[in-house]
Amino acid sequence: MNDRNVGIADPHSFVPSRKVDRLDVFREKYAAERDKRLTKEGAEQFQAIDFTGKFSEFDADPHVDGPREAGPMSLDLDVLVVGAGFMGITAGIELEKVGVSSYKILDVAGDFGGTWYWNRYPGVRCDVESYIYLPYLEETGYVPTERYVRGSEIYAYCRSLAQQHGLYDHALFQTRVTGMEWDEDTARWTVRTDNGDEFRARFVATQSGLFMRPHLPGIPGIESFAGHSFHTSRWDYEYTGGDDSGNLDRLRGKKVAIIGTGATGLQVIPQLAEYADEVVVYQRTPTQVMPRQNAQTDVDWFKSLKPGWHRERRAAFDKCVQDRATVSDVDDGWVKFAKYQMDAVFEAGGENPSLEVLIDAMERSDYEWNEMLRDRIDASWRTSRRPTSSRPTTARCASVRASATSTCLVQQGLGRHRRHGEHADRADHRDRDRVGRSGARLRPDRLRDRIPGRTLVDGQGGL
């Protein structure tokens, strides 16, 4: 392996400078790092938030004033759509286009928006280009304000699409599906909800997404924590002040801890550090960090695009991230990585590499790309003015914003919650006024709710 200090004069160049000479060494290194972080419990290490259990407050909707006003319904429908995010909105729009009017769109949330309804934490943005991510741009004529827009703009766009296509007339919010059974005699789905509704539908379209519910770390004592605590997808602006653009002025003078450094944590932490007196970040595994390269939309460029551009751009992006096909005008981090991998494959095996050569080149290029990202962080850290005496393996403390007294990154596992603080192995962090927890539960089977003893779907023949 080349020396770590070679070739990183421009850490934003997106060109890996160090090649993987010994693949076995990297495999061993990554396996060792993985083993440090894995637990025997696997996904069971996380606390499931039951709808009525002791952690149910973490799932409560902070954006509604009370329970659903509409009484129980009993309806026969052609289509029942479960989920009111982009896929649910798209289903409704396409049903309208083909003349289907007998349908309902259900969602446990209080409005359209899906993940953008729930995730309104400070700093929230989408990591996919808005010209790709937002649907129906050509039909609506909407011009996103930036390449990577804020979550509030995406949420507003969801509501605008629903209003333009009359979807609110078919929506039923604050409604959770509790059972779904196939009736052989009537050839209909019978769907029941927590509000006592019963719908009989010819077709059911489940558009509930992958990251449906927040989850919590399975830390002993978490239920007895005495400070203010909430999940990032249920952000409490009454407590912090501000909005998704920042200005969390009510955190001044407070000590804050946040668990998790995924995409959500990376966006939230700078906002917290700007206003809180002290921030402690608990991290299990470092995540990829790349320059956002955001910019205001060039309206003249946007309006000059030829008809059909949106479908072509979305299709090209999908082919790139799924199949590593790199014929695309998009030049973001996703595409740069795909192009780097395909170049590595071509260099190793030409246009028709063997399966063994392809896998080897893909793995090497993946390691090289990630080493480049680490080099960028190291270079940025060395050239910054943030005070630090070393780069310890268990914690890194530094002043991130001038108004924050300190920000500390703890890479040890949390041992247990205490009533007035947290305990991480040998480190004891007391008097945290608030603990923010990020992370969502990935559901491997979107049709079955894996709460013990509850089966959501009972289809034909018991499937």
DSSP assignment string, 260-283: --SHHHHHHHHHHHHHSSEEEEE-
In angstroms, the CA 6 to CA 28 distance is: 23
Pick from 208, 176, 233, 177: which is nearest to 58 by CA?
Answer: 233
Look at residue 445 in the predicted model and tell me its pLDDT: 41
Which pLDDT score, from 0 to 100, does residue 379 have? 75
Rounded Cα–Cα distance for residues 261 and 279 (Å):
13
What pLDDT is attached to residue 262?
86
Q: What are 204-239's pLDDT values in tens digits?
A: 999 877 666 777 777 777 777 778 888 899 999 999
pTM for this predicted structure: 0.84
* Partner residues linked to 213 by β-bridges: 441
Indicate the residue type of 434.
Answer: R
Q: Which residue has the higher pLDDT, 402 or 300?
A: 300
In this predicted structure, the answer to whether residue 9 has a pLDDT above a threshold of 50 is no
Q: Which residues pair with 427 in a beta bridge?
A: 424
Distance CA 117, CA 62 (A): 11
> For residue 133, which phi and psi values (nearest 5 degrees)?
-70, -40
Residue 236 vs residues 183, 207, 228, 272: alpha-carbon distances, Å: 43, 27, 10, 13
Count of beta carbons in the 10 Å neighbourhood of residue 52: 7
383 confidence band (pLDDT: 50, 70, 90):
low
Whole-angstrom distance between the N-terminal and C-terminal Cα of the chain?
52
Q: Which two tokens stand for residue 137?
A: 């741009």
Q: What is the mean pLDDT of the chain?
A: 81
Average pLDDT for residues 4-24, to the nearest whole number? 64
User: 289 pLDDT band (50/70/90 cuts)?
Assistant: confident
Identify whether the C-beta of residue 251 lies closer than 8 Å to the C-beta of residue 77: no
In order of start, what are the domains of the chain with their CATH numbers?
74-210+443-462 (3.50.50.60)
Contact 202, 89 (CB under 8 A): no
Contact 379, 391 (CB under 8 A): no
pLDDT single digits (tens) 386-437: 433 333 322 233 333 434 455 555 555 555 555 555 544 434 444 455 555 6
Supply the pLDDT for residue 282.
Answer: 86
Q: Give me the helices (H) in 324-439, please.
A: 333-349, 355-383
User: Phi and psi at residue 124, in whole multiples of 5°?
Assistant: -65, 130
**Partners of residue 457 on adjacent β-strands:** 180
Q: Taking residues 255-266, report their average pLDDT.
A: 88
Under 8 Å between Cβ of 326 and 338: yes
Mean pLDDT confidence for 83-87 = 96
d(CA 410, CA 392) in angstroms, rounded, equals 10
Q: What percent of the chain has pLDDT over 90?
A: 51
What DSSP character marks residue 57?
Answer: G
> φ and ψ at 395, to 5 degrees?
-160, 150
Q: Which of 232, 238, 258 is nearest to 433 (CA)?
A: 258
- Beta-strand ranges (E) seen in 73-120 are 74-82, 103-106
| 385 three-state secondary structure | coil
Q: Check residue 444 and report its DSSP letter.
A: S
Give the pLDDT score at 426: 37
Choose among 314, 258, 318, 282: nearest CA to 123. Answer: 258
- Residue 222 and residue 216 in contact, taking contact as beta carbons nearer than 8 Å: yes
Q: pLDDT (tens digit, 9 = 90+) per residue, 162-177? A: 999 999 999 999 999 9
- Percent of the residues in the chain that have a pLDDT greater than 70, as a whole number: 75
The per-residue b/e assignment along 212-229, b for 16 or more CB within 10 angstroms, e otherwise, is bbbbbbebeebeebebeb
Contact 173, 111 (CB under 8 A): yes
pLDDT tens-digit series, residues 97-143: 999 999 999 999 999 999 999 999 999 999 899 999 999 999 999 99
What is the pLDDT, as a whole number, of residue 1?
Answer: 36
